[in-house]
Amino acid sequence: MAKHVKLPKKLRTPGDFSKFLLGELGWRRKETRYFRSLVDKGGGAVETLTRAAVAILYSHWEGFLKIGASAYLEHVRLQGRKLSELKSNFVALSARKLAEGATQSSRWEFQIAFCKAVRESENFPAKWPKSWNIDTGSNLTVEVLRDMVLLLGINYRVEFQLAEKPIIERLLELRNGIAHGNAQGVDLAEFHQLDDKVDELLQLFCNELDNSAAVSAYRL
Protein backbone atom coordinates (compact mmCIF):
# COMPACT_ATOMS: atom_id res chain seq x y z
CA MET A 1 0.00 0.00 0.00
CA ALA A 2 1.35 3.41 -0.96
CA LYS A 3 2.09 5.81 1.88
CA HIS A 4 0.33 9.12 2.27
CA VAL A 5 2.52 12.12 1.59
CA LYS A 6 3.37 14.45 4.45
CA LEU A 7 2.06 17.98 3.98
CA PRO A 8 2.47 21.15 6.03
CA LYS A 9 -0.41 22.55 8.07
CA LYS A 10 -0.38 25.90 6.29
CA LEU A 11 -1.95 25.37 2.88
CA ARG A 12 -5.21 27.26 3.30
CA THR A 13 -4.39 30.49 1.46
CA PRO A 14 -3.20 30.67 -2.15
CA GLY A 15 -0.04 32.32 -0.84
CA ASP A 16 0.72 29.49 1.56
CA PHE A 17 0.07 26.93 -1.15
CA SER A 18 2.26 28.78 -3.65
CA LYS A 19 5.12 29.07 -1.16
CA PHE A 20 5.03 25.34 -0.45
CA LEU A 21 4.74 24.42 -4.13
CA LEU A 22 7.63 26.61 -5.25
CA GLY A 23 9.77 25.40 -2.38
CA GLU A 24 9.17 21.78 -3.35
CA LEU A 25 9.98 22.46 -6.98
CA GLY A 26 13.04 24.50 -6.05
CA TRP A 27 14.94 21.90 -4.06
CA ARG A 28 14.11 19.20 -6.58
CA ARG A 29 15.38 21.26 -9.50
CA LYS A 30 18.51 22.06 -7.54
CA GLU A 31 19.24 18.36 -7.09
CA THR A 32 18.56 17.43 -10.73
CA ARG A 33 20.83 20.27 -11.89
CA TYR A 34 23.55 19.01 -9.55
CA PHE A 35 23.35 15.51 -11.03
CA ARG A 36 23.42 16.92 -14.54
CA SER A 37 26.62 18.79 -13.71
CA LEU A 38 28.12 15.53 -12.44
CA VAL A 39 27.19 13.81 -15.68
CA ASP A 40 28.72 16.58 -17.77
CA LYS A 41 31.97 16.30 -15.77
CA GLY A 42 31.78 12.52 -15.54
CA GLY A 43 34.79 11.51 -17.60
CA GLY A 44 35.24 7.77 -17.34
CA ALA A 45 32.32 7.44 -14.92
CA VAL A 46 29.83 9.17 -17.20
CA GLU A 47 27.83 6.01 -17.94
CA THR A 48 27.32 5.23 -14.24
CA LEU A 49 26.53 8.83 -13.38
CA THR A 50 24.01 9.09 -16.22
CA ARG A 51 22.17 6.02 -14.97
CA ALA A 52 22.05 7.52 -11.48
CA ALA A 53 20.91 10.87 -12.85
CA VAL A 54 18.03 9.25 -14.75
CA ALA A 55 16.87 7.50 -11.58
CA ILE A 56 16.98 10.81 -9.66
CA LEU A 57 15.22 12.65 -12.48
CA TYR A 58 12.36 10.15 -12.45
CA SER A 59 12.09 10.25 -8.65
CA HIS A 60 11.62 14.03 -8.72
CA TRP A 61 9.23 13.84 -11.67
CA GLU A 62 6.93 11.42 -9.88
CA GLY A 63 7.61 12.88 -6.44
CA PHE A 64 6.73 16.45 -7.32
CA LEU A 65 3.58 15.53 -9.20
CA LYS A 66 2.37 13.42 -6.28
CA ILE A 67 3.08 15.95 -3.56
CA GLY A 68 1.93 18.90 -5.68
CA ALA A 69 -1.36 17.16 -6.46
CA SER A 70 -1.87 16.15 -2.83
CA ALA A 71 -1.15 19.68 -1.64
CA TYR A 72 -3.66 21.13 -4.10
CA LEU A 73 -6.37 18.73 -2.96
CA GLU A 74 -5.61 19.67 0.63
CA HIS A 75 -5.76 23.37 -0.25
CA VAL A 76 -9.20 22.87 -1.80
CA ARG A 77 -10.37 20.81 1.17
CA LEU A 78 -9.31 23.52 3.59
CA GLN A 79 -11.56 26.08 1.86
CA GLY A 80 -14.58 24.36 3.42
CA ARG A 81 -16.64 24.84 0.27
CA LYS A 82 -19.96 23.10 -0.17
CA LEU A 83 -20.11 20.32 -2.72
CA SER A 84 -22.59 22.39 -4.68
CA GLU A 85 -19.91 25.07 -5.10
CA LEU A 86 -17.25 22.75 -6.48
CA LYS A 87 -16.60 21.23 -9.88
CA SER A 88 -17.62 17.64 -10.50
CA ASN A 89 -14.14 16.15 -10.00
CA PHE A 90 -14.11 17.27 -6.36
CA VAL A 91 -17.66 16.05 -5.82
CA ALA A 92 -16.56 12.67 -7.15
CA LEU A 93 -13.58 12.65 -4.80
CA SER A 94 -15.73 13.54 -1.82
CA ALA A 95 -18.25 10.83 -2.67
CA ARG A 96 -15.71 8.14 -3.51
CA LYS A 97 -16.06 6.08 -0.34
CA LEU A 98 -19.81 5.99 -0.68
CA ALA A 99 -19.48 5.07 -4.35
CA GLU A 100 -17.11 2.20 -3.59
CA GLY A 101 -19.62 0.73 -1.16
CA ALA A 102 -22.45 1.02 -3.68
CA THR A 103 -20.59 -0.53 -6.60
CA GLN A 104 -19.33 -3.48 -4.57
CA SER A 105 -22.88 -4.69 -4.04
CA SER A 106 -25.55 -5.66 -6.55
CA ARG A 107 -28.28 -4.76 -4.08
CA TRP A 108 -30.27 -1.69 -5.04
CA GLU A 109 -30.63 -0.49 -1.43
CA PHE A 110 -26.93 0.39 -1.33
CA GLN A 111 -26.99 2.15 -4.69
CA ILE A 112 -30.14 4.12 -3.83
CA ALA A 113 -28.59 5.05 -0.47
CA PHE A 114 -25.53 6.33 -2.36
CA CYS A 115 -27.62 8.56 -4.65
CA LYS A 116 -29.59 9.87 -1.68
CA ALA A 117 -26.41 10.65 0.24
CA VAL A 118 -24.93 12.55 -2.71
CA ARG A 119 -28.07 14.66 -3.13
CA GLU A 120 -28.34 15.45 0.55
CA SER A 121 -24.66 16.28 0.87
CA GLU A 122 -24.69 19.08 -1.70
CA ASN A 123 -25.01 21.69 1.02
CA PHE A 124 -22.31 20.18 3.23
CA PRO A 125 -18.59 21.01 3.03
CA ALA A 126 -16.57 18.76 0.78
CA LYS A 127 -14.64 16.14 2.70
CA TRP A 128 -11.89 13.72 1.81
CA PRO A 129 -8.92 12.41 3.81
CA LYS A 130 -6.16 14.88 4.59
CA SER A 131 -3.07 14.23 2.46
CA TRP A 132 -5.17 12.25 0.01
CA ASN A 133 -3.02 9.50 -1.41
CA ILE A 134 -2.27 10.00 -5.10
CA ASP A 135 -1.23 6.45 -5.87
CA THR A 136 0.94 6.10 -8.97
CA GLY A 137 1.95 2.56 -8.12
CA SER A 138 5.57 3.79 -8.45
CA ASN A 139 4.97 3.90 -12.21
CA LEU A 140 3.86 7.29 -13.46
CA THR A 141 2.50 6.22 -16.82
CA VAL A 142 0.76 8.54 -19.26
CA GLU A 143 -2.55 6.96 -18.25
CA VAL A 144 -1.88 7.66 -14.56
CA LEU A 145 -0.85 11.24 -15.36
CA ARG A 146 -3.99 11.88 -17.39
CA ASP A 147 -6.12 10.48 -14.59
CA MET A 148 -4.33 12.65 -12.03
CA VAL A 149 -4.90 15.80 -14.09
CA LEU A 150 -8.58 14.87 -14.48
CA LEU A 151 -8.95 14.46 -10.72
CA LEU A 152 -7.32 17.85 -10.10
CA GLY A 153 -9.44 19.59 -12.71
CA ILE A 154 -6.46 21.36 -14.29
CA ASN A 155 -5.48 21.70 -17.94
CA TYR A 156 -3.77 18.79 -19.66
CA ARG A 157 -1.57 21.07 -21.68
CA VAL A 158 -0.43 20.36 -25.22
CA GLU A 159 3.15 20.21 -23.95
CA PHE A 160 2.21 17.14 -21.94
CA GLN A 161 0.49 15.57 -24.92
CA LEU A 162 3.54 16.05 -27.14
CA ALA A 163 5.85 14.66 -24.44
CA GLU A 164 3.88 11.48 -23.77
CA LYS A 165 5.90 8.99 -25.82
CA PRO A 166 9.33 10.60 -26.24
CA ILE A 167 9.68 11.88 -22.67
CA ILE A 168 7.17 10.53 -20.14
CA GLU A 169 7.04 6.94 -21.35
CA ARG A 170 10.73 6.86 -22.24
CA LEU A 171 11.82 8.18 -18.83
CA LEU A 172 9.70 5.53 -17.12
CA GLU A 173 11.15 2.82 -19.38
CA LEU A 174 14.74 3.83 -18.58
CA ARG A 175 14.06 4.20 -14.88
CA ASN A 176 12.44 0.76 -14.68
CA GLY A 177 15.38 -0.83 -16.44
CA ILE A 178 17.79 0.78 -13.98
CA ALA A 179 15.64 0.06 -10.92
CA HIS A 180 15.30 -3.61 -11.87
CA GLY A 181 19.05 -4.07 -12.04
CA ASN A 182 19.38 -4.31 -15.81
CA ALA A 183 22.46 -3.14 -17.66
CA GLN A 184 20.41 -0.23 -18.95
CA GLY A 185 22.56 2.09 -20.99
CA VAL A 186 21.54 5.74 -21.35
CA ASP A 187 22.67 7.84 -24.29
CA LEU A 188 24.10 11.15 -23.12
CA ALA A 189 22.24 13.22 -25.71
CA GLU A 190 18.98 11.51 -24.79
CA PHE A 191 19.60 12.18 -21.11
CA HIS A 192 20.04 15.90 -21.84
CA GLN A 193 16.79 15.92 -23.79
CA LEU A 194 14.92 14.14 -20.99
CA ASP A 195 16.39 16.41 -18.35
CA ASP A 196 15.45 19.57 -20.28
CA LYS A 197 11.90 18.46 -21.06
CA VAL A 198 11.12 17.07 -17.61
CA ASP A 199 12.29 20.33 -16.06
CA GLU A 200 9.93 22.18 -18.41
CA LEU A 201 7.01 19.86 -17.62
CA LEU A 202 7.57 20.18 -13.88
CA GLN A 203 7.42 23.96 -14.13
CA LEU A 204 4.27 23.80 -16.27
CA PHE A 205 2.57 21.46 -13.79
CA CYS A 206 3.59 23.77 -10.95
CA ASN A 207 2.19 26.79 -12.79
CA GLU A 208 -1.12 25.03 -13.49
CA LEU A 209 -1.61 24.21 -9.81
CA ASP A 210 -0.42 27.61 -8.62
CA ASN A 211 -2.69 29.50 -11.02
CA SER A 212 -5.67 27.25 -10.25
CA ALA A 213 -5.35 27.99 -6.54
CA ALA A 214 -4.88 31.72 -7.17
CA VAL A 215 -8.11 32.06 -9.20
CA SER A 216 -10.12 29.40 -7.29
CA ALA A 217 -10.47 27.34 -10.45
CA TYR A 218 -11.95 24.50 -8.39
CA ARG A 219 -15.22 26.43 -8.00
CA LEU A 220 -18.17 26.25 -10.35
pLDDT in tens, 134-165: 777 778 999 999 999 999 999 999 999 999 99
146 and 159 share a domain? yes
Residue 34 maps to which CATH number?
Answer: 1.20.120
DSSP secondary structure letters along 19-66 = HHHHHHHHHHHHHHHHHHHHHHT-GGGHHHHHHHHHHHHHHHHHHHHH
Residue 2 has pLDDT above 60, yes or no: no
66 and 91 share a domain? no
Q: What is the largest CA-CA distance in the chain?
A: 68
The arithmetic mean of pLDDT across residues 154-179, rounded, is 96
Classify residue 4: in a domain, yes or no.
Answer: no
70 and 161 share a domain? yes
88 and 116 share a domain? yes
State which residues form the domain around 106: 82-125
180 and 112 share a domain? no
Residue 1 has pLDDT above 60, yes or no: no
Contacts of 217 (CB under 8 A, 6+ apart): 153, 154, 211
152 and 107 share a domain? no
How many other C-beta atoms are found inside a 10 Å radius of the C-beta of residue 67? 20
**Whole-structure pTM over 0.85, yes or no?**
yes
For residues 131 and 196, the model is more confident at: 196
Q: What percent of the chain stands above pLDDT 90?
A: 65
Q: Which helix (H) or strand (E) holds 201?
A: helix 188-214
90 and 55 share a domain? no
**How many structural domains compose the chain?**
2
Residue 189 has pLDDT above 70, yes or no: yes
